[in-house]
Amino acid sequence: MAGLAGLAGLGLSACGRGFGGGDDEPAAGTVQLNMVWWGDAKRAEKTQAALDIFQRKNPGITIKTEYQDSGPYKDKLATRFAAGDAPDLMAMRMDSLREYADRGALLDLTSHSGAVDLSGLSESARTLAAVGDKTYGVPAGLNAIGFVINKTLTDKYGVQIPDGNTWSWADLSTFSQAITKASGKKVYGTNFDASTLANLIVFTRQQGEDFYTADGALGVTEATMVAWFDMFNQMRASGAMPPAGFIEDVGSSAEASYLAKGSIASQIIPTNNFLVYKEAAGGNLALLRIPGETQAKRRGQSVDCPHLWSIASASKHQAEALKLLNFLVNDIDASKATGTTRGVPASSKIAEELKPSLTPDDQVATEYLIGLQGENLPRSYTYPPGSSKIQSSLESIATEVEFKRQTPQQAAKAFIDAGRKALGK
Amino acid sequence: MTSGTTTRALAGSVASDVLAAPRRRRAKPRKDRAGYLFLLPWFIGMLFTIIPFFASLYLAFTDYNLLNAPQWIGFGNFREMLDDPLLRQSLKVTFIYTFVSVPLSLVVALGVAMMLNRGIRGLSVYRAVFYLPSLLGGSVAIVLLWKYIFGFDGIVNGFLGWFGIDGPGWTTDPDYALTTLIILHIWTFGSPMVIFLAGLRQIPTMYYEAAATDGASRWRQFRSITLPLLSPIIFFNLIQSLISSFQTFTQGFIMSGGTGGPADSTIFYNLYLYQQGFSQFHMGYASAMAWVLLVIIAAFTALNFLAAKYWVFYDN
């Protein structure tokens, strides 16, 4: 048995060196860091600009970056770890954090506070990444979800945009129906996914519940899930949203989105993507809060991050990786280069310093987030291990509702059952 | 250097096993060596198959999350499979796909092969045109193209629209998504078709001439001459198609963006295996699934060989 295990290990590590590594050997005396993340070409350009500054300031370190679309990133990262070829510094999904951290794959940054200064982190940034009293990553930026409306279309069809700070879910429905009607169904008023956890989490918090509780259990009730699915059914029936089957999986880029195509007038986006969506949709987008915030039992929105920066505990160049992480978090030049492609800088000090140098468009999303940060929002808890399973069962159950194969009641029950099973509580 | 020596030693031992004829080996060592040299890439390739093969057999009996060392859990993964609704769903999807699309694609392949076998001019062009989809059918680009053709505003629904029919979401509606993939599979009938065509050309024309003289209808000729004489080829195509169909992955992965959706309607067995292994950190379970698939495929292949006695006719 042990022999076989050894053989397996041998096979895996051999593969890792053969394919995953494949890097050009760095010159003697220099250290090469491997850094991986997801995003588009725009983000790559900005990230590279920051890394160039770092390499100029630290002549002994070169950085080899790899990036790709967000969808397949997760599987790729898991494979890299399995092959014993973990990157030094990586973008870590919030819902994957515990799956790696709980298994000892990530470096605890609290024990390296001398190398990475975390004292500048805003309160919301600090709580985001905490797992107990340890920290396995630093938010690469802060964002929230926001509602964007294409103003070109509302002007064209003469529909007024509701007040984004006080609008209700009913207002959203009325507004969207008006667009659909005025356009003769050429443009549907709105569309957003019932299966995107970030959307559902805000809705759940508005009902006074936590989607995930502090001890990592499922806190959302069946009643809330019924209300969530009901709302989508009603919006589809009234024409506020396109009919079942209309929306296809077109990937995650802003350019390919239905908002950019002009077949829907509004949707929910992560605020750090405001710039790319604005450009893709023709340059005239309004950014509103999520509906229902003033009518709800409590505030639903929260400050999140698109991803964390984490360091592999198996990294051979931890000192250098920490140095790079510190640069990304605490150096104003880094943030000036990257702008807000990953959200508002996690360090409040850097965020303040960066603000004046942002373009007016960039300031829209930044103001939005800084506004939220200043308000008293209930805390949200880290995704427990098993949450990726919850995400996939939500996707299939939401589709069952969309095509009327399940009633909201059946779907809500099925989701809660599947969720509890996935979390083991 | 070392690898060269090893290979020579390996080649030598295989040679003595296989040929078991030392005299001949002494007589033509040079020729043998050239042969094994040509086989070398295969031997090296085999290592990359054999090692993961045994590794996965071991991992099937472990709890392995990719990040920590595997923990031996005996038959735990196999017990878990008995109570996994998504695994049952993935088997259902794979079986429906296989048992609908394999017979249909073979019928289409045989039909087109017979059409092309009538000595039409420009045969090689037609053959290439019909074969083209199967070169591309499993490829990412074609599945993406398919997605557009069958999109909500795609060509198919546009065509249906002329007749006042509101087409469904072919790729987004859980009731239609698998059907769309089955149609794609049938469209890629090229490789069995080419094999059928070769088989048809082997049947001596005198049989047909004799049958025609005796007044046999075309249908009668097909049933009494073509089918029996072609049965070994049909058998070969059937086995090939069954095996590859059980292992379908790309189509489901691309069409659903890796989720197996809508609503798990395209979650092929191999796609679910991939999700377990690489998205859910459940590599032990995924390895166990791989071995169960091997057993399923072996069972169906064995069944086919048993049944073959009753319908496959070898004319030697």
Q: Any chain B CB within 8 A of the CB of A244?
A: yes
Q: Interior CA angle at B253 toward B83 and B264, to 5°?
A: 40
Closest CA to A129 of A105, A153, A97, A103: A97
pLDDT of the residue at A7: 37
d(CA B265, CA B269): 11
Report the pLDDT averaged over residues A176-195.
94
pLDDT of the residue at B16: 39
Structure token digits, residue A285: 């987008």
d(CA A258, CA A269): 12
| A16 pLDDT tier (thresholds 50, 70, 90) | very low
| pLDDT tens per residue across span A62-101 | 999 999 888 789 889 998 998 889 999 999 998 889 889 9
**Directed axis angle between helix B85-116 and helix B190-202, to 10°?**
40
Omega within 30 of 0 (cis) for the link into B262: yes
When comparing pLDDT for A394 and A1, which is higher?
A394
Domains along chain A with CATH numbers: 20-140+306-364 (3.40.190.10), 145-301+386-423 (3.40.190.10)
Give residues with Cβ within 8 angstroms of B166, minimum separation 6.
B157, B160
d(CA B117, CA A5): 55
Give contacts of A105 with chain B, Cβ < 8 Å.
Answer: 67
A399 to chain B: closest CA residue:
B263
Give residues with Cβ within 8 angstroms of A27, minimum separation 6.
none
Q: Which candidate from A1, A81, A245 shows the least CB-CB separation from B168?
A: A245
A388 to chain B: closest CA residue:
B280
Res. B13: pLDDT tops 50: no
Q: Hey, are the CB atoms on B261 and A399 less than 8 Å from each other?
A: yes
pLDDT of the residue at A9: 37
| pLDDT tens per residue across span B298-314 | 999 999 999 998 888 88
Tokens 């930026």 correspond to what residue?
A: A141
Q: Best interface-test mutation with A: which of B44, B58, B66 has the largest number of A CBs within 10 A?
A: B66
pLDDT of the residue at A27: 59
Q: Any chain A CB within 8 A of the CB of B257?
A: yes
**Where on the phi/psi map is residue B112: left (φ > 0), alpha (ψ -120 to 50), or beta?**
alpha
d(CA B198, CA B113): 9
Q: Any chain B CB within 8 A of the CB of A199?
A: no
CA dihedral A307, A312, A318, A321 (to 10 degrees): -30
| pLDDT tens per residue across span A226-235 | 999 999 999 9
Give contacts of A72 with chain B, Cβ < 8 Å.
Answer: 258
Q: Hey, are the CB atoms on B55 and A79 less than 8 Å from each other?
A: no
d(CA B134, CA B130): 8
Res. B14: pLDDT tops 80: no
Contact between B247 and A44 under an 8 Å Cβ cutoff? The reply is no
Burial profile A342-381: b = 16 or more Cβ within 10 angstroms, e = fewer: bbbbbbbebbeebeeebeeebebbbebbbebbeeebeebb
Res. A306: pLDDT tops 80: yes
Q: Which amino acid would we find at residue A320?
A: E
In whole angstroms, how large is the CA radius of gyration of chain A?
Answer: 22
Which residues, in sequence order, are bridge partners of residue A148? Answer: A267, A287
Domains along chain B with CATH numbers: 2-59 (no CATH), 79-311 (1.10.3720.10)
Sheet with A285-288, edge to edge strand ranges: A266-270, A145-150, A285-288
Contact between B196 and B109 under an 8 Å Cβ cutoff? The reply is yes
Res. B58: pLDDT tops 70: yes
Q: How far is CA B164 from the centre of its chain?
A: 38
- Rounded to the nearest 5 percent, the helix, strand and coil shares of chain A are 50, 15, 40
Res. B238: pLDDT tops 90: yes
Contact between A206 and A302 under an 8 Å Cβ cutoff? The reply is no
CA distance B181 to chain A (A): 16
Please provide the DSSP assignment of B91-141 as one string. Answer: HHHHHHHHHHHHHHHHHHHHHHHHHHTTT-TTHHHHHHHHHHHHHHTTSHH
Strands (E), A23-60: 31-38
Positive or negative, the CA dihedral A115, A119, A125, A130 is positive
Q: Pairing relation of β-strands A308-311 and B62-63?
A: unpaired
Q: Any chain B CB within 8 A of the CB of A256?
A: no
Percent share of chain B, pLDDT over 70: 89
A390 to chain B: closest CA residue:
B280
Q: Any chain B CB within 8 A of the CB of A332?
A: no
Contact between A262 and A153 under an 8 Å Cβ cutoff? The reply is yes
Alpha carbon of B233 to those of B201, B229, B314: distances in Å?
12, 9, 10
pLDDT of the residue at A285: 93
B61 to chain A: closest CA residue:
A1
Judged by average pLDDT, the poorest of A45-49, A228-232, B150-154, B271-275 is: B150-154
Give contacts of B274 with chain A, Cβ < 8 Å.
Answer: 75
Res. A6: pLDDT tops 60: no
d(CA B77, CA B178): 28
In the three-class reduction of DSSP (H, G, I as helix; E, B as strand; rest coil), residue B65 is classed as coil
- Which range of A346-355, B83-92, B213-222 scores highest in mean pLDDT? It is B83-92
Q: Any chain B CB within 8 A of the CB of A169?
A: no
d(CA A104, CA A107): 8
Q: Pairing relation of β-strands A266-270 and A130-131?
A: unpaired
d(CA A223, CA A221): 5
| A18 pLDDT tier (thresholds 50, 70, 90) | very low
CA dihedral A364, A36, A303, A43 (to 10 degrees): 10
Q: Best interface-test mutation with A: which of B50, B71, B90, B279 has the largest number of A CBs within 10 A?
A: B279
When comparing pLDDT for B122 and A246, which is higher?
A246
d(CA B148, CA A421): 37
**Whether the predicted interface score ipTM is above 0.90:** no
Tokens 């468009």 correspond to what residue?
A: A361
Q: Which candidate from B70, B257, B258 shows the least CB-CB separation from A5?
A: B70
B51 to chain A: closest CA residue:
A11
Half-sphere CA count of A10, side-chain side, radius 13 A: 11
CA distance A307 to chain B (A): 17
Q: Hey, are the CB atoms on B55 and A12 less than 8 Å from each other?
A: yes
Q: Hey, are the CB atoms on A397 and B51 less than 8 Å from each other?
A: no
| B137 pLDDT tier (thresholds 50, 70, 90) | low
Half-sphere CA count of B159, side-chain side, radius 13 A: 6
When comparing pLDDT for B32 and A334, which is higher?
A334
- Average pLDDT of every residue of chain A: 88
CA distance B39 to chain A (A): 22
d(CA A140, CA A227): 34
**Where on the phi/psi map is residue A225: left (φ > 0), alpha (ψ -120 to 50), or beta?**
alpha
Q: Where are the alpha helices (DSSP H) in chain B?
A: 2-19, 22-27, 29-59, 76-82, 85-116, 123-136, 140-149, 155-162, 177-187, 190-202, 205-213, 218-221, 227-246, 250-255, 269-274, 283-311
Q: Establish, for the pair of chains A and B, how many residue pairs have beta carbons separated by less than 8 Å.
A: 105
Give contacts of A410 with chain B, Cβ < 8 Å.
Answer: none
pLDDT of the residue at A113: 83
Q: Which positions 99-118 of A are in contact with B (Cβ < 8 Å)? A: 99-100, 103-105
Q: Hey, are the CB atoms on B58 and A4 less than 8 Å from each other?
A: yes
Q: Best interface-test mutation with B: which of A80, A264, A387, A399 has the largest number of B CBs within 10 A?
A: A399
Q: Hey, are the CB atoms on B169 and A103 less than 8 Å from each other?
A: no
Report the pLDDT averaged over residues A291-315.
93
Res. A382: pLDDT tops 50: yes
CA distance A53 to chain B (A): 34
